[in-house]
Amino acid sequence: MLVFANNEKSQAVVLADRIQETLATEGVRVSRAAVGQSASDIESLQTVDIVVSLGGDGTVLSCARLLAGHDAPILAVNLGQFGFITEVRQDEWYDTFDAYRQRRVGLSRRLMLEARLLRDNECLATCIGLNEVVVAATGISKIVNLTASTSRGTLGSYRADGLIVATPTGSTAYSAAAGGPILHPDLDAMILNPVCPFTLSNRTLVMPGHEVVRILVDHTQRTDVVMTVDGQEVYALEADDVIEVRRSNHQATIIESDRRSFYEVLRSKLHWSGGR
């Protein structure tokens, strides 16, 4: 087991200690890593068979990118304020772990995105994200000019604060705040969502997961533009740059809670009202 903790949260360090002590009595080998470490810094990553993420949804996003290419499932324990991915509370970690090893809970396999930054037909960067890829201006209230297309043709030109390409997992994050639809996280789909488009007819589009989205930064663009991945990795863009976003060959595997479903989390987090 690998415990992947956000060490900026004091309760994450305390809980990591408790997990290590508890499982040591059962003969489970536990290693530890922290947010900010790279895959090359973690010697046990190649052999780990389960990862416990301690933090909020942001910690899970970092963990998922770190594990890309590995099959280890993530037990996401919520220590944050608002978690859609982290369904397991900190006092439930052992029960969920025990239910997983006894095969009494399922696994949710989540689509991840691969983004490639192309400049003059050369790939400058390739990155993977679980939530979304965003192309936007660096400042507030600055419109960017972007053209989006797929393998089937051009979707259109956008004058907007930016464009979001989101996964079903990311549909409850920035895309939802920008008015996008909420998708079940197990769906094989992508969302293209303009942020505050200047033209009101520009609408959110849900596409099958096999599509490839190309976003071109207009050659007249003067405002500084960046690409962000999961809100955690940032790349500066230039006019005529192209960002290709496609379904990654890697998935994030999340251990499901046996206490609550995705719909129950939605109802609780979004304060939906209704009957008893």
Catalytic annotation, residues: 57
Listing DSSP states for 124-161 in one string gives: EEEEEESSEEEEEESSTT--EEEEEEETTEEEEEEEES
Q: Are 67 and 51 in contact (CB under 8 A)?
A: yes
Q: How far apart are CA 264 and CA 89, in angstroms?
A: 14
> How many other β-carbons are positioned within 10 Å of the β-carbon of residue 172?
25
Residue 120 structure tokens? 């003059």
Residue 143: strand pairing partners? none
Q: Are 91 and 19 in contact (CB under 8 A)?
A: no
Pairing of strands 213-217, 242-255: antiparallel
Q: Are 41 and 32 in contact (CB under 8 A)?
A: no
Q: Are 175 and 164 in contact (CB under 8 A)?
A: yes
H or E element at residue 226 = strand 225-229
Q: How far apart are CA 5 and CA 273, in angstroms?
A: 34
